[in-house]
Amino acid sequence: MKLHDVAVVGATGLVGRTMVQVLQERAFPVNRLVLLASERSTGKELDFNGGSVPVQALSPDKFRHCEFVLFSAGATVSREFAPLAVRSGAVVIDNSSAFRMDAQVPLVVPEVNRRQIFKHKGIVANPNCSTIQLVVVLKPLHDRFRVKRVVVSTYQSVTGAGQKGVDQMMDELAGREPAQKNFSHRIAHNALPHIDIVFDDGYTKEEWKIMNETSKIIGEKIRLTATCVRVPVVGGHSESVNIEFEKKCSVEEIRETLRQAPGVVVMDDPKANVYPMPVNVQGKDDVFVGRIRKDETVSNGVNLWIGADNVRKGAATNAVQIAEALVLGK
């Protein structure tokens, strides 16, 4: 198999480090790995394939000869440097919000809309972490039963705010004043119904992402409303999802459809205390679903509980899966 020169931008961040780990775990055919970050990270080293790779300061010349560049350094960095990487001949897979709603940029979850990858013009966007785990479950159900309306409430790990979010919670739990505050209130022993900025209509940017990205990925308008909550958890995001369908469906038909869906694991035996939780989805690349039950308030409704590791499938793994598809050409 041909080997490829790969760069990771934001390599020392929580997602960037996980991208490097996932590239190794999945045996991605790497010839040369280039690790890029800010000046303050220069000189650090990350383990990869039995050796160590030094971190270099991000600059346009570092993209030379790279075939894939995975970005996870925030939208500002992506807007400045992703086009430069494309001009150098690389395909960019961007984990920020910079290009997600750009009509010229595919927004891809491989289990859902894999063919869109090959319509790229140099950049492929990774969706928001909460959107990824939702659409992996929603798309096969939509294909079979046709979604009429969705109500989503998220319970999002502090890892969604990166290492700084984790550090704030750990400082608070230890009774220390956080070195840097990343949330609008304390997160330890708390729940914050506020992720990212609040728009004039009362919705947050995180909620807006889920509502709009879902429709773009599935390829048609999905009526969806969301409430996003940050909770003092490390390990994964959880979602309570209520779906109303156009077609009749039984709980067993829902389970059967999801058992056959790519990337989905049904973990649904609540009487035996079996259902997805951050502690049992952490470190895994699938999306887990349980607590599947009928919504008796509507004709064709169901309630689901979805869990996934937001740093892996919600970010790093999804990006690497996109690169794998490009390598395979299918």
Q: How many of the other CB atoms lie within 10 Å of CB of 220?
A: 8
Nearest Cα residue to 289 out of 273, 297, 277: 277
Angle at 55 between CA 86 and CA 22, to 5 degrees: 75
Domain span(s) for CATH 3.30.360.10 in the chain: 130-310
Question: Residues with catalytic annotation?
Answer: 129, 237
Structure tokens at 19: 């991208």
Instruction: Tell me the C-alpha distance between 63 and 182, whole Å.
Output: 31
Q: Kindly tell me the sign of the dihedral angle through the C-alpha atoms of 244, 222, 123, 205.
A: negative
Three-class SS state of 255? helix
Q: Which band of pLDDT confidence, cut at 50, 70 and 90, is reported for residue 330?
A: confident
Q: Which band of pLDDT confidence, cut at 50, 70 and 90, is reported for residue 11?
A: very high
Q: Which residues on neighbouring strands pair with residue 156, listed in sequence order?
A: 230
Instruction: Tell me the C-alpha distance between 163 and 288, whole Å.
Output: 24
CATH number for the region 4-127+315-328 comes to 3.40.50.720
Q: Which residues on neighbouring strands pair with residue 241, listed in sequence order?
A: 152, 304
123-125 vs 224-230, strand pairing mode: unpaired
Instruction: Tell me the C-alpha distance between 299 and 38, whole Å.
Output: 54
Mean pLDDT of the chain: 97
For 154-193, what is each residue's pLDDT tens digit?
999 999 999 999 999 999 999 999 998 999 999 999 999 9
68-71 vs 123-125, strand pairing mode: unpaired
- What mean pLDDT is predicted for residues 307-321? 98
HSE toward the beta carbon, residue 135, CA cutoff 13 A: 31
| High-pLDDT (> 70) share of the chain, % | 100
Q: Does the reported pTM lie above 0.85?
A: yes
Instruction: Tell me the C-alpha distance between 168 and 176, whole Å.
Output: 9
Instruction: Tell me the C-alpha distance between 292 and 294, whole Å.
Output: 7
Answer whether 9's CB lies under 8 Å from 58's CB: yes
For 122-154, what is each residue's pLDDT tens digit?
999 999 999 999 999 999 999 999 999 999 999
Q: Which residues on neighbouring strands pair with residue 152, listed in sequence order?
A: 226, 241
Q: Does CATH place domain 130-310 in 3.30.360.10? A: yes
Question: What's phi and psi for 108, nearest 5 deg?
Answer: -130, 135
For 292-305, what is each residue's pLDDT tens digit?
999 999 999 999 99
- What mean pLDDT is predicted for residues 80-87? 98
Q: In what order do the strands lie in the sheet with 123-125?
A: 45-48, 51-57, 30-37, 4-9, 68-71, 91-94, 123-125
Structure tokens at 330: 């299918």
> Residue 1: is its pLDDT beyond 90?
no
C-alpha distance from residue 154 to each of 60, 165, 240 (Å):
37, 17, 6
Q: Kindly tell me the sign of the dihedral angle through the C-alpha atoms of 62, 67, 73, 76.
A: positive
Q: Which band of pLDDT confidence, cut at 50, 70 and 90, is reported for residue 78?
A: very high
For 186-242, what is each residue's pLDDT tens digit?
999 999 999 999 999 999 999 999 999 999 999 999 999 999 999 999 989 999 999
- What mean pLDDT is predicted for residues 28-51? 96
Nearest Cα residue to 125 out of 62, 213, 37: 213
Q: Which band of pLDDT confidence, cut at 50, 70 and 90, is reported for residue 41?
A: very high
Q: How many of the other CB atoms lie within 10 Å of CB of 104?
A: 10
Three-class SS state of 107? strand
Q: What is the largest CA-CA distance in the chain?
A: 60
Instruction: Tell me the C-alpha distance between 75 and 286, whole Å.
Output: 26
> Residue 277: is its pLDDT beyond 90?
yes
Domain span(s) for CATH 3.40.50.720 in the chain: 4-127+315-328
Instruction: Tell me the C-alpha distance between 162 and 75, whole Å.
Output: 14
Q: How many of the other CB atoms lie within 10 Å of CB of 283?
A: 10
pLDDT at 321: 98
pLDDT at 301: 98
